[in-house]
Chain A
Amino acid sequence: MSTKDMMPNFDLFQPSDMGNAIDLLDQYGADAWPLAGGQDSLDWFKDRIKRPVAVIDLAGIPGMTGINETANGIEIGALTTLTEIAQSLLIRDNYGVLAEAASRVASPQIRNIGTIGGNICQDVRCWYYRSGVDCYRAGGNTCYADTPEGLNREHCLFEADRCVAVSPSDTAPALVALDATMLIQNSDGIREVAAEDFFIGPDVDIERVTVLEPGDILTSIRIPSTWAGANYYFEKVADRATWDFALVNIASVLRMQGNTITDLRVVCGGVQCTPRRLNGVEDIVRGSNRDAETIELASSAAARGATVLNYNGFKIPLMENLVKRAIRDS
């Protein structure tokens, strides 16, 4: 992978309105590639693994950036940068878990241009797949990570189906925890999809990580006020503080009455192909007092049902301890 290579040729379109962008996406179908901040996309092109014919730059479409208050929460344009989200007072004051998650992505330079939409749409970070091998996710019929010699320290604990790659995004677990919904537009109109249904596993489609299909544009993300101002916790465990993806991250929100936890959401990234909502933990904790016993019970349920690969067993105690901290420190 020479560092001075040109990317392979593509045609670049910079539509100045949504209609034009959707027409182009329809015209090129599977050969079109929507471009937001480009921080993930250009790597795929440089490595010659994804070779779109037409790259559709979404940056010139009006109305796709910004954070606005709505009657019932906020709406974030899909092209809003991660830096804007991390620094927004509106988000920090009300949905702190998202601001913190955004501030932990990659590096300052990447956050300055990388978008929230791109961050949740990004493909998996399995290094076999990224190096261009013909694995299941690339349309082939084998998985290189899930073999006796496969290096699978970063791979999944849950819901494997041929592919064992994980959800790499730091903001996705926060959005699932906040009960966000995604607005998706195509030539048929606009649809709204719950964050939990937006992300899809290999059992649904092994070649995609979201419900987005060719022709779809994610236009914005809605966050209801359900969890506005709630207690929250976000932590990302990675090998280095900058650039590295989460080995495991956790996003939680919870509401208390006195010392009783009345309701909560706990979601982990880096453990399965989609952000994993820890329903078992939530069921144990909901209605309980915040005390050592509840925290211990929650922790012991954190990784229930996990299937370890050769090198990722450490993720189980990691999840257990992160859940402990999330319930204790939210």
Chain B
Amino acid sequence: MRPQNQSRRNFIKGIIASGAVVSTGGLMFVSGCSETTTTPAPGSVERLISLNINGTIRRVDVLPNETLAQTLRNKLGLTGTKIGCDRGECGACSVLIDGVPNNSCSMLSHRVTGKNITTIEGIASPAGELHPVQRAMIEELAPQCGFCTPGQVISSVALLNNNPNPSREEARQALAGNLCRCGAYDHYLNAVLRAAEEIA
């Protein structure tokens, strides 16, 4: 029995140790300070950059291999932008770059220096008054679980900025890049059309 117990203890120890290693690795990735021992090649990008986010210039230390979604969420505390798939397949991470919806999970942060970035946090007025799109989404009970909602708002705001009076089909096309696993699509479309009426 004893040898068996001992090997069991060793086994558990092994698991704990490897678990610790794994979780440290995870933390290092999230905080973005992994593999910092390599020196960047001459001529490659600076790490300390300025990003213009929601009208404020933010200085931030960004790795060359970091996406905008990671910078926003992990470095700048702007966690309203969601990461669903991290592969361009859901639109949960949508932000406006110079007014145009883009998937922030598929954008290197270094690509957007000098651009105006609007995240979901920048859609309401500075005084906290909700955007007509946001109010309409509440009225229409559009969000179910709410995970896709920030992205739906971003695409809707971009649409109404360009086309204040869209048809339902035009709204459908504009929101086509925002997956909703709860299937609340029609409610989101109702909200876009209601917001359009309100803005008019």
Is A204 in contact with chain B by the CB < 8 A criterion? no
Segment touching B, from A36-44, A70-78, A217-225, A287-295: A36-44
Does B125 lie at the interface of the complex (its beta carbon under 8 Å from any beta carbon of A)?
no
Cβ-based interface call for A136 (8 A): no
**Chain A contact residues: over half helix, strand or loop, or mixed?**
mixed
B100 interface residue per 8 A CB criterion: yes
A9 to B28 Cα, complex, angstroms: 13
Q: A4-B30, A6-B63 are in contact. Are A11 and B41 (CB under 8 A)?
A: yes
A42 — which chain B residues lie within 8 A by C-beta? 67, 88, 106, 108
Proximity bits, A1-18, B CB within 8 Å = 1, else 0: 001111111111110000
The 8 A CB mask of B32-60 against A (1 = contact, 0 = none) is 10110010110111000000000000000
A106: contacting residue among B45, B88, B94, CB under 8 A: B88
Alpha-carbon distance A194/B105, docked complex (angstroms)? 35
Size bracket of the A interface: 35 or more
A106→B106 CA distance, assembly (Å): 13
CA distance A98 to B133 in the complex (A): 34
Chain B hits for A9, CB < 8 A: 35, 38, 63-65
A242 touches B177 (CB 8 A): yes
Which of B29, B67, B88, B107 has its CB near the most chain A CB atoms (within 10 A)? B88
Q: Which residues of B contact A14 (CB under 8 A)?
A: 45, 110
25 contacts between A and B (CB under 8 A): A3-B86, A4-B29, A4-B30, A5-B29, A8-B35, A8-B65, A9-B65, A10-B64, A10-B65, A11-B44, A12-B110, A13-B41, A13-B43, A35-B108, A38-B106, A42-B108, A83-B100, A108-B101, A108-B155, A108-B176, A109-B101, A109-B103, A110-B88, A112-B101, A242-B177
Known: A42-B106, A107-B91, A109-B88. 15 other contacts (CB 8 A): A3-B83, A5-B29, A6-B32, A9-B65, A11-B64, A35-B108, A42-B88, A46-B87, A55-B64, A107-B88, A108-B155, A109-B103, A109-B177, A110-B106, A112-B101
Residue ranges of A at the interface with B (Cβ–Cβ < 8 Å): 3-14, 24, 35, 38-39, 42-43, 45-46, 54-55, 57, 59, 83, 106-110, 112-113, 241-243
